[in-house]
Amino acid sequence: MKTLSIKEQLKSYFLFAALILSLVFTSVNASAQATSAAPLIKNVVLVHGAFADGSGWKGLYEVLSKKGYHVTIVQNPLSSLEDDVAATNLALDRQDGPTILVGHSWGGTVITEAGNHPKVAALVYVAALQPDNGENSVQWLQTAPPAKWCVKSG
């Protein structure tokens, strides 16, 4: 069995995420078209996780853009949750209508906080932290059960 490099694993992960999100957006827009009063959602804002930057969303950006979506990638400053939420809210302010907000990893915490923005129509968590109402990510990580399995490297 071939072992994939980190770069190959990330590429595979984001291509898989692109496929899943394409299916999600297709079903969301199909539902919106079925209800004539519902607006068609064409805006997508992508929020990256910690220890990364917005370039990780490049593959998904290209897939969604080719499908006609207006895609914005937030470049989180990663200086604090408040700063990351402010950067995300700035991107949301610039959208021209209802928007799907997507977060990966730490970005899940950010979109949870920014999810009350009036332009947010839906939240999508991609392998992301999803704290409950009133819970923060540190609390969530401290109370999460330990992994039942792991992959040994080498």
Structural domains in the chain, sorted by start:
6-143 (3.40.50.1820)
Contacts of 63 (CB under 8 A, 6+ apart): 18, 22
pLDDT for residue 8 is more than 90: no
Q: Do residues 98 and 74 lie in contact, with contact meaning Cβ atoms separated by under 8 Å?
A: no
* pLDDT band of 42, cuts 50, 70, 90: very high
* Backbone angles phi and psi of 33, in degrees to 5: -70, -30
pLDDT score of 123 more than 60: yes
Q: State the average pLDDT over residues 64-75.
A: 96
